[in-house]
């Protein structure tokens, strides 16, 4: 295969050839669209750091969900902003909480759309942490009961899948046990199994109003320096009953996506997070990059790394482009 006998450019000389030998493709079925829902009426509040994204009241969320479904996207993942926050995150597991009401409404109108729910207390607690506070830290074991209750309330409302993002030890097992005992053994769990204590979450914390009021989340989210720890975390979650495992963020951790894809025979999801989205949008707004091409290259790289599913704020934009092809 030495030059000049082998010339790789032969198969690059036309768009038709390039498409024929393309190794990786992103499809609309790969995409999951995140949405933010908030208590109230006629709410469509722009998120300043995430152009094109909004906090939506339920009736506006429904219109957004219809658009997502029309574009061929199979699933959404919901994040809720409650009316009242307290130390225990009570609305997270209330039967008529904001997420629970949103699930019911979407299922009434678009039953075919897969609804995945984020299971974490950070959006619902007055302190902004992902669990129950004792002293100056989250009490891991005390939090498990509340996460299980939250997941069950979502399943009872009609959620198709629950996605614990809290990073408490043992939470997948606690949720699986509680769902099974209450008649929801068919509801799968997509675990945020390798969720890093990343600096790429800033815009999300504006969108979900979930920034911690003290300290940080380094005692429960993973150290960005660690790769072997991700293998251990994922193995534990699979043993506890996870059906899909996730890496978050995506782009700075593509090596982790690839390692998990090679190591485990389970679907791998990757979360193309808010900071990744906002950087592309900001650079594009300055004319420094072609935002559309960079968006599609980012999604392609996540898929090439081994992700089966991509949660991305680019989902709608990408779906429109893929629809045109």
Q: What average pLDDT does the chain have?
A: 95
Mean pLDDT of 107-133: 93
Tell me, yes or no, if 177 is annotated catalytic: no
70 assigned to some structural domain: yes
Confidence class for position 217, pLDDT limits 50, 70, 90: confident
3 assigned to some structural domain: no
Rounded Cα distance between 284 and 294, Å, is: 9
Cβ-count burial 162-196 (b if 16+ within 10 Å, e if not): bbbbbbbeebbbbbbebbeeeebeebbbbbbbbbb
Report helix, strand or coil for 30.
helix
What's the pLDDT at 70?
97
141: how many CB neighbours lie within 10 A of its CB?
12
Tell me, yes or no, if 195 is annotated catalytic: yes
Task: Classify residue 86 by its DSSP letter.
Answer: B
**Is the per-residue pLDDT at 212 higher than 90?**
no
User: pLDDT of 78-100, one tens digit each?
Assistant: 999 998 899 888 999 999 999 99
pLDDT above 70: percentage of residues in the chain: 99
What's the pLDDT at 38?
95
What's the pLDDT at 323?
86
Pick from 205, 199, 286, 293: nearest CA to 251: 199
In CATH, what number is assigned to the domain containing residue 56?
A: 3.20.20.70
User: pLDDT of 238-279, one tens digit each?
Assistant: 999 999 999 999 999 999 999 999 999 999 999 999 999 999
What's the pLDDT at 104?
97
What's the pLDDT at 136?
84
**Is the per-residue pLDDT at 1 higher than 70?**
no
Please enumerate in sequence order all residues whose Cβ is within 8 A of that of 68, keeping only pairs 6 or more positions apart, or say none.
33, 35, 76, 113, 315, 316, 319
319 assigned to some structural domain: yes
221 assigned to some structural domain: yes
CA angle, residues 37, 42, 43, in degrees to nearest 5:
40
212 assigned to some structural domain: yes
Selected catalytic residue, list 38, 248, 281, 303: 248
Mean pLDDT of 47-60: 95
Q: Which residue has the higher pLDDT, 103 or 324?
A: 103
Cβ–Cβ under 8 Å, residues 92 and 146? yes
Indicate the range of 120-129, 165-174, 192-201 predicted with least confidence: 120-129
Selected catalytic residue, list 195, 281, 303, 325: 195
Domain count, the chain: 1
Pick from 321, 325, 320, 287: nearest CA to 71: 320
* Range of the structural domain that residue 160 is part of: 24-324
What's the pLDDT at 211?
77
Number of Cα atoms under 13 Å in the Cβ half of residue 321: 17
């Amino acid at each position: 295969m030495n030059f000049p006998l082998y010339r790789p450019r032969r198969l690059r000389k036309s768009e038709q050839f390039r498409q024929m030998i393309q190794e990786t493709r992103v499809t609309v079925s790969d995409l999951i669209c995140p949405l933010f829902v908030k208590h109230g009426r006629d709410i469509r509040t722009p998120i300043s750091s995430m152009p094109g994204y909004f906090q939506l009241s339920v009736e506006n969320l429904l219109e957004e969900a219809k658009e997502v479904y029309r574009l061929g996207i199979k699933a959404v993942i919901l994040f809720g902003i409650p009316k009242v926050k307290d130390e225990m995150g009570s609305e997270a597991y209330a039967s008529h909480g904001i997420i629970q009401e949103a699930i019911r409404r979407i299922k009434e109108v678009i039953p075919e759309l897969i609804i995945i729910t984020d299971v974490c207390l950070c959006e619902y607690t007055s302190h902004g942490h992902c669990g129950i506070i004792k002293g100056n830290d989250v009490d891991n074991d005390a939090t498990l009961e509340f996460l299980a209750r939250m997941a069950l309330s979502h399943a009872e409302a009609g959620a198709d899948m629950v996605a614990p993002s809290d990073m408490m030890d043992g939470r997948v097992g606690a949720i699986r046990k509680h769902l099974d005992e209450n008649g929801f053994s068919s509801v799968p769990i997509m675990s945020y199994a390798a969720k890093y204590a990343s600096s790429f979450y800033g815009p999300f914390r504006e969108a979900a109003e979930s920034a911690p009021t003290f300290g940080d989340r380094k005692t429960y989210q993973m150290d960005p320096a660690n790769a072997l720890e991700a293998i251990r975390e994922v193995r534990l979650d699979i043993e506890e009953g996870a059906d899909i495992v996730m890496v978050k963020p995506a782009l700075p951790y593509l090596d982790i996506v690839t390692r998990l894809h090679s190591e485990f025979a389970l679907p791998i999801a990757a979360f193309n997070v808010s900071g990744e989205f906002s950087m592309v949008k900001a650079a594009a707004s300055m004319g420094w990059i072609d935002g559309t091409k960079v968006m599609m290259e980012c999604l392609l790289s996540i898929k090439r790394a081994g992700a089966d599913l991509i949660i991305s704020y680019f989902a709608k934009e990408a779906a429109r482009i893929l629809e045109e092809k």
